[in-house]
Amino acid sequence: MLEKNIKNLLACPMCMSPLKPVQKRLTCEICNKEYADIETECICFDNCIDEKGFFTKQGIEWIPEQYNNYTRQVFLESLAKREYWEMDEKNKLVGITRKLWWENYIGKVEHKRILEIGCGVNYITPYWLECKNDVVAIDNCRESINFLSKVIQLSGVPMDKLVLAVADVTAVRFLKKFDIIQMNNVLHHIKEYPILLNQLRNYLADDGRILIVEPNYYYPPRWIVETELFDPVNPIRNYFIRNELFEEDEKGIRFSILKKQLKNAGCEIVINMKDNNWLGYGNILWVKSGTALAKAIYILDHYLFSKVIPAILAPFEYIIARKSV
């Protein structure tokens, strides 16, 4: 099934000819160059696996613990818990603050072709498959892809329209166009993301949409950890790095810059929404979901702090973009 799904999907970066399966390797017959292994459940591109170990360590250690006793029923029930205060811990811990947020603006996405970049392990890929979409999900962490495959199987969704790939999105090339390109907490891990935005526009269908969720550099708890103002001594930053809660070179997004770069890439923003879980996200490690305290914080955030705190300090921003007219 995997070899069928990758037919005319990927291109050689050198000549843009289709990559073809030859003895379990993705190969450009024009350049006589091999690019990836074709395994049972995924494609694994050469020389692109996350070597820092940050996400690999997450994938090996704490993410599997969150999926003990995971079933289709648990998956379906978790989809109904969309708001941050009630959300399951497994999705909160990977930076999900609102599930299915795009549906308020573009409706339910069904029977479309979707590219999910930096898919990680969360509810999103199984949900796309639940909605009968053709999905290409890529991540440069091998452990994330392996475990995501298990989660998809446990979710009970069909996998016949899925391509999983261990890949560096900046190095692969696609021949097909996508109706939806989604990046959830991804761009701030890519140093040259303006180049990526130009590439993504070429992969987007004429009436397609790019969905972006990113952490905001100016959200005060994040700024304290990421700012260089206190270098070389920043005990809070050192604590987060030492306990592997944070990548050493990680930086949140400055959205004024991102919006200009989207425009330069030939895209226009049609939706720009601020996340208003100011206090809630700051207490992610200390307040348990579904409790009275979590609900109280949610009410304060949405009905008080959202009125008085400047939007520039929001923990996350959500963007929907399309090709410029």
Residue with tokens 């391509």: 163
Note whether 322 and 209 are within 8 A (CB). yes
Residue closest to 168 by CA, chosen among 50, 55, 262: 50
Other CB atoms closer than 10 Å to residue 180's CB: what's the count? Answer: 22
Note whether 250 and 188 are within 8 A (CB). yes
Structure tokens at 310: 């400047």
Question: Any idea where the domains of the chain sit in the sequence?
Answer: 1-38, 51-75+98-276+313-323
| CA distances in angstroms from 307 to 36, 301, 303, listed in the order given | 51, 9, 7
Mean pLDDT across 161-178: 94
Contacts 24+ apart (CB under 8 A), 67-72: 67/147, 67/150, 67/151, 67/154, 70/151, 70/154, 70/155, 71/154, 71/156, 72/154, 72/155, 72/156
Tell me the H-state helices in the chain.
2-5, 54-60, 62-66, 72-79, 89-92, 103-106, 124-130, 142-155, 193-203, 220-226, 235-242, 255-264, 278-282, 292-300, 306-308
- Give yes or no for residue 8 having a pLDDT over 80: yes
- Give yes or no for residue 231 having a pLDDT over 80: no
* pLDDT tens digits for range 72-87: 999 999 999 999 999 9
Q: Is the pTM of this model over 0.85?
A: yes
- Give yes or no for residue 15 having a pLDDT over 70: yes
The radius of gyration of the chain from alpha carbons, rounded to an integer in Å, stands at 20
- Give yes or no for residue 243 having a pLDDT over 80: no
What per-residue string of b and e applies to 227-251 under the rule 16 or more CB within 10 Å gives b?
eeeeeeebeebeebbeeeebeeeee
Tell how strand 316-323 and strand 204-215 pair up.
antiparallel
Residue 56: what pLDDT?
Answer: 55
Query: Considering the chain, what is the average pLDDT of its residues?
Result: 90
- Give yes or no for residue 224 having a pLDDT over 70: yes
- Give yes or no for residue 112 having a pLDDT over 90: yes
pLDDT band at 252 (very low <50, low <70, confident <90, very high): confident
Residue 54: alpha-carbon gap to chain centroid:
16
- Give yes or no for residue 129 having a pLDDT over 80: yes
Residue closest to 133 by CA, chosen among 152, 99, 153, 158: 158
Q: CA–CA separation, 158 vs 139, rounded Å?
A: 20
Q: Tell me if residue 157 falls in helix, strand or coil.
A: coil
| CA distances in angstroms from 190 to 20, 71, 140, 172, listed in the order given | 28, 33, 11, 14
* pLDDT tens digits for range 286-303: 899 999 999 999 999 999
Mean pLDDT across 103-121: 96
Residue 54: what pLDDT?
Answer: 55
Residue 58: what pLDDT?
Answer: 58
**What CATH code is assigned to 51-75+98-276+313-323?**
3.40.50.150
Q: CA–CA separation, 7 vs 96, rounded Å?
A: 33
Residue 60: what pLDDT?
Answer: 61
pLDDT band at 262 (very low <50, low <70, confident <90, very high): very high
Residue 240: what pLDDT?
Answer: 78
Q: CA–CA separation, 7 vs 38, rounded Å?
A: 12
* pLDDT tens digits for range 31-74: 999 999 999 889 999 987 665 555 555 556 677 788 989 999 99
Mean pLDDT across 143-158: 93
